[in-house]
Amino acid sequence: MFTGIIQAVGHVSHLVESGGGDARVTLAATGLDLSDTGLGDSIACNGVCLTVVAKTADSFSVDVSGETFSCTIGYVPGDRVNLEMAMRLSDRLGGHLVSGHVDGVGEVTHFAPVANGDGSWRLDIQAPAALGRYLAPKGSIAVNGVSLTVNRVQGLEFSINLIPHTLEQTMLRDLKPGARVNLEADMLARYADRLLNYINEQDKD
């Protein structure tokens, strides 16, 4: 489990294919304290929960399945990646509960500074149809692992305001229109939707 508060931005240093669409990916993680990270621990990489299978003082490796590559934006050598280690039960929940299980891939439709000149940027994303039911103004969503608040929803497109701190501390500043991003819906919205569907199903019986 994660909070969506990014701890460091690393980059993909190596990718070695292992057959069947699987690959071992090594990420340089300068700025992330890996001293108490052991093999088998989880780290969210652009919002995807992955298991550490090898590490050095400033890098770690994960095995990524073909299935993960097929339903996320994947990993390409040189790409910058948002990193967050799994939360402890004693940690502050600064963002929202993020499972690290990507629900779908969205596309950036607009990314530009806000006109008022306060340093904020507006990010518009087109979500896949399956996620539309979970989008709500003032609700939460994870974009490449970053916990963010939805400002506006129009159909399947939603808008987010990124403050300067978020732009400085994450790889979201690298985004451009047409870029693909990992999306994870707020789990509270997902369970509320499931409950409503269950109630409706019971009423039909």
* Confidence check: pLDDT of 205 > 90: no
Q: Model confidence over 29-87: pLDDT tens digits?
A: 989 999 999 999 999 999 999 999 999 999 999 999 999 999 999 999 999 999 999 99
The structure tokens listed for 58 are: 């400033």
Closest CA to 178 of 76, 107, 92, 83: 107
Q: What is the pTM of this model?
A: 0.92
Q: What residues does 12 pair with on adjacent strands?
A: 27
Q: In this structure, which topology does domain 104-194 adopt according to CATH?
A: Elongation Factor Tu (Ef-tu); domain 3 (2.40.30)
Give how far Cα 9 sits from Cα of 31, 33, 152, Å. Answer: 8, 12, 27
Span(s) in the chain for CATH 2.40.30.20: 8-85, 104-194
Q: Model confidence over 99-147: pLDDT tens digits?
A: 999 999 999 999 999 987 789 999 999 999 999 999 999 999 999 999 9
190 or 142, higher pLDDT: 142
SS (H, E, C) the chain: CECCCCCEEEEEEEEEEEECCEEEEEEECCCCCCCCCCCCCEEEECCEEEEEEEECCCEEEEEECHHHHHHCCCCCCCCEEEEEECCCCCCCCCCCCECCCCCEEEEEEEEEECCCCCCCEEEEEECCHHHHHHCCCCCEEEECCEEEEEEEEECCEEEEEECHHHHHHCHHHHCCCCCEEEEEECHHHHHHHHHHHHHHHHHHC
Report the CATH number of the 8-85 domain.
2.40.30.20
pLDDT tier, 196 (very low <50, low <70, confident <90, very high otherwise): confident
**Share above pLDDT 90 across residues of the chain, in percent, rounded to a whole number:** 81
pLDDT tier, 198 (very low <50, low <70, confident <90, very high otherwise): confident
pLDDT of residue 115: 85
